[in-house]
Amino acid sequence: MMDGSMEPGLLLIPGPVPLPRQVREELAKPAAPHYGDAWVKAHSETREMLRYTWSAPDAHVFPIAGPGHAALEAIGYTFLRPGDRIVVVSNGFFGDRTHEVLLTHRVKADLVSSPWGSAPDLAALRTALKTPAKAVVVVHNETSTGVTNSLDPIVEAAHAADAIVIVDAVSSLGGLPLPFAKLGIDAGFSASQKCIAAPAGIAPVAVSRSLWESTDPKSVEGWYLNLYTWDRYEREWGDWHPTPTTISSNLFYAFHRALKLLREEGLEARFARHAKVAARLRAGLAELGFRPVGPSAILSNTVGCFSPPPGVDPARLVRRLKDEHDIYISGGLGPLRGKTIRVGTMGTQADPESIDWLLKAVRASV
């Protein structure tokens, strides 16, 4: 198996994922100062590794202390203004959640929806963009349905209408190809506990230079979730205290270590590993009568969502796997609750032996 902790069981939910031994070692160390030479070095290395992970060598990157939603709100506060019109592309739970969150920022958020498990409705998006919009917001990898949304046509449509593109990469960064700079993404955010295989609590943010330089910092409300605050501390206090507030040293060094492991493996090798293991999971479950929710062309390599064969109750299967085999998977969300199972193949989960263990247990349980 991958070198992740399998105690108290095999964790195959769609994040968090089992932590590699080296990452757990960082968490177990005594608390260290959140400033000083060692901290500055680790912070600088973390930012450089984030640029590598985002495939964005010139982007402004920030390891925000908080969940992925904190990063979404930071982008909202920093680059959107009350009254701005935005278009949210949704084909699942987290697209709808993004719409819900951004509405609280007092923007005019129009929703371009398509059925859960299907691809985004590009025709409807282009129609929506005939009315001027500040931004298009899209979830790259929809964890609720196990589908990956192609970003190229969405970015093309948005930029043709002079709208920026904000991407939720929570369950894709570090596991799926995401060429931030090449695609022309303007802002993106993720979370540490998914494909990066670090503890929850750090939310990576990337912002293009063009968006950064076209925004007036004085127009931004708020302090902690204002990315220009983070930038100011990096510039003015960077030689000893490059973050605006105290961040758990154990958490940050664990995140730093997870990024080093990612860099050592290499993005292309990591993407190939995720693809191979996801295909193994799909093939194994197909033999048992399970069907993925989405069409094959858009199925995710970091999380799978499956409808069980007739006579198999998803909630009962989830319970049996936990109680009888010490394996944790998830049930469905929203309208798929009680109808599907979801399995993570992210980070340490993208391991053939772990998937074979799961398939053996499912075979014994259905």
Whether 2 is covered by a domain: the verdict is: no
Q: How far apart are CA 197 and CA 5, in angstroms?
A: 11
Crossing angle of the two packed helices 68-79 and 227-236, in degrees rounded to 10: 90
Same domain, 51 and 143: yes
Q: Same domain for 52 and 166?
A: yes
Which CATH number goes with the domain that contains 323? Answer: 3.90.1150.10
Residue 288 lies in a domain: yes
pLDDT of residue 8: 61
d(CA 301, CA 28): 31
| Backbone region of residue 347 per phi and psi (left: phi > 0; alpha: psi in -120 to 50; beta: other values) | left
Say if residue 333 is in the same domain as residue 344.
Answer: yes
Same-domain pairing of 258 and 271? no
Is 214 among the domain residues?
A: yes
In terms of domains, do 257 and 118 share one? yes
The pLDDT assigned to 1 comes to 46
Residue 3 domain-assigned?
no
Residues in the chain: 366
Same domain, 287 and 155: no
Whether 214 and 276 share a structural domain: no
Q: Is residue 75 part of a domain?
A: yes
User: In which domain, by residue range, is 170 found?
Assistant: 22-263
Cα–Cα dist 261/22, whole Å: 9
Task: Please state, as a whole number, how many other Cβ atoms lie within 10 Å of the Cβ of residue 175.
Answer: 31
Judgement on whether residues 255 and 310 belong to the same structural domain of the protein: no
Q: Are residue 249 and residue 270 in the same domain, yes or no?
A: no
Domain final residue, candidates 228, 263, 298: 263
Which amino acid is present at 39?
W
What distances in angstroms separate CA 73 from CA 64, 68, 70, 223, 227, one per listed residue? Answer: 11, 9, 5, 12, 10
| Spatial CA neighbour of 303 closest among 53, 6, 3, 16 | 16
Could you give phi then psi for residue 330, rounded to 5 degrees? -120, 160
286 shares its domain with 221:
no
Q: Look at residues 24, 64, 53, 36 and name the one whose alpha carbon lies nearest to residue 227.
A: 64
Long-range contact pairs involving 316-323 (C-beta distance under 8 Å, separation at least 24): 317/341, 317/362, 317/365, 317/366, 320/365, 321/358, 321/361, 321/362, 321/365, 322/9
Q: From 263, 291, 312, give the residue that closes a domain.
A: 263
Of 263, 283, 314, the residue at which a domain comes to its end is: 263
Q: What is the CATH number of the domain that holds 215?
A: 3.40.640.10
Could you read off the pLDDT tens digit of each residue along the chain, which spans 366 residues?
Answer: 445 444 569 999 999 999 999 999 999 999 999 999 999 999 999 999 999 999 999 999 999 999 999 999 999 999 999 999 999 999 999 999 999 999 999 999 999 999 999 999 999 999 999 999 999 999 999 999 999 999 999 999 999 999 999 999 999 999 999 999 999 999 999 999 999 999 999 999 999 999 999 999 999 999 999 999 999 999 999 999 999 999 999 999 999 999 999 999 999 999 999 999 999 999 999 999 999 999 999 999 999 999 999 999 999 999 999 999 999 999 999 999 999 999 999 999 999 999 999 999 999 999
If one counts the domains in the chain, the total is 2
Rounded to two decimals, what is the model's pTM?
Answer: 0.96
In a domain, 227, yes or no: yes
Same domain, 238 and 346: no
Q: What's the rounded Cα separation, in Å, for the pair 330 and 322?
A: 10
Same-domain status, 186 and 318: no
Q: Is 359 domain-assigned?
A: yes
What's the token pair of residue 119?
């691809």
| 92 lies in some domain | yes
pLDDT reported for residue 297: 97
